[in-house]
Amino acid sequence: MSLIPGYSSDEDVDAISHTNDAFNLFAIPAAKRPRIEAATPSTTAFEAAPDVLAEDPLKQTSLITRPTDTQMHVNIPYSEMTLPLQGPENPFGKRDRFLNQNALAGHVEEQAMTEHAFRAQHLTHSILGYSANPSIDPNAPAFLGSVDAAQANGFATVDMIRAPKGKNKELKRKRNAKGDLEIVDGEGAYVGPWASWQGEEPSNMLPEGAGVEEEPEEEEEEQFVTKKAKPKRGAFGQETSIFHGKSMTDYQGRTYMSPPYGEVPHLQSEPGSQESFIPKVCVHTWTGHTQGVSVIRLFPQTGHLLLSGSMDTKIKLWDVYTHGNCLRTFHGHVKAVKDVTFSNDGRKFLSCAYDRQMKLWDTETGQCLQRFSNGKIPYVVRFHPDEDKQHIFLAGMSDKKIIQYDMNSGEITQEYDQHLGPVNTITFCRRE
């Protein structure tokens, strides 16, 4: 009967084991189940987890610094300052090699010295072969390089070494004597300041056995034909004009300077006798300039000709009453034309441009008669209104002056310099 309580069936064992089998390992066939051997006393146990700090890191008061830090704002005990550096180490290198490393390749010390001291040591090492050792290590040698040379020079730098006066005199080259004035040629002849240095051989002395070589005949140099420089554009004498008509005169021998009284009879009437009206319709448009027109002037008295100056550097003369054609084009300025003005009879006119030139033209022939310039830009030109003073004209300049020219002499006779800015217009006032 005592054996009955200890008896149990296989089904009960399976039920109990199945309840404890969370991964259902008993369902695997016996042949495929993993074998588990009991641990023997000789078996070694391995732990994959690394050692960790036994203390709580949040409760530690130690200060962790980098090797490159130069300042610490906390007073640290000496025992903590002398602790070894933390971090990964090279297992194949020496542990004491880079204790004070502050650079990639090792430890760099800072030295404070003047520029003169550095240059002196650098030149001493380059020239004499030695220099002072800047290391702070007490066991390091005092000098680097050749110790023998340093001892011979008394450990002095380049800037401290001075040669004795006697040696300097020996090193200096000496001139030969000037010679005697009475001796013209030979030994002791007078050479004056052309005396040679001692030990210097004259360059004109030939070695023995050296013959005089015949100099080859010089080849005749090619003769270069000098070409005349092209005249500067806009220079005096380069002014031209182009006549655009078929003939300078008509069947009666009259030029375009004569008013067309046949086509326009009212030109012969007295001023003020004809009836005038306000212009309302564009009668004609003159086209020919390639850029903007800066000034136009009608022929005096009759107005049968129109003179225009443009920014294209050209001056054109137009017909007003007959066909409205361009009669002549004047070329002479190299920059934009600023102003033109007729003389009292209209046979001449003045022009000024931004090329700092003022030119006198013949209206009929297109010839440039004179040229004036003082180096400043003229803004306006005007003839003197009196008939007996048509050789005088005024020019308003960019330098705040009005200049009076005499065409007979071609020189400036008077200057008016009371303006505070450039002069843009000039008007003459008659005395009654």
Residues 6+ apart with CB under 8 A from 367: 239, 241, 361
Q: Which range has the top average pLDDT, 136-140, 209-213, 220-224?
A: 136-140
Q: What is the pLDDT of residues 104-124, one digit of tens each?
A: 777 777 777 889 999 999 999
Are 105 and 125 within 8 A, CB to CB? no
Give mean pLDDT, residues 124-135.
89
Tokens 């070894």 belong to residue: 84
Mean pLDDT lowest among 154-168, 227-241, 340-354:
227-241
Domain boundaries in the chain? 116-158, 240-270+288-416
Residue 189: pLDDT above 90?
A: no
Are 102 and 68 within 8 A, CB to CB? yes
What pLDDT, on a 0 to 100 scale, did the predictor assign at position 391? 92
Residues 6+ apart with CB under 8 A from 179: 188, 189, 190, 191, 192, 195
Q: Which range has the top average pLDDT, 27-36, 69-78, 132-141, 377-386?
A: 377-386
What pLDDT, on a 0 to 100 scale, did the predictor assign at position 1? 47
Q: What is the maximal distance between C-alpha atoms in the chain?
A: 175
Beta bridge partners of 331: 240, 314
Give mean pLDDT, residues 224-245.
70
What pLDDT, on a 0 to 100 scale, did the predictor assign at position 351? 95
Average predicted confidence (pLDDT) for the chain: 79
Give mean pLDDT, residues 372-382.
93
- pTM score, whole prediction: 0.47
Mean pLDDT lowest among 51-60, 203-212, 320-329:
203-212
Q: 240-270+288-416 — its CATH code?
A: 2.130.10.10
Mean pLDDT lowest among 50-59, 145-154, 186-195, 259-268:
50-59
How many CA within 13 A on the CB side of residue 224?
A: 3
Q: What is the DSSP string of 138-158?
A: TTS-SEEE-HHHHHHTTT--G
Assign residue 402 a region (left: φ > 0; alpha: ψ between -120 and 50; beta: otherwise): beta
What pLDDT, on a 0 to 100 scale, did the predictor assign at position 419? 92
Q: Which range has the top average pLDDT, 102-106, 137-141, 269-273, 425-429?
A: 425-429
What pLDDT, on a 0 to 100 scale, did the predictor assign at position 205? 55
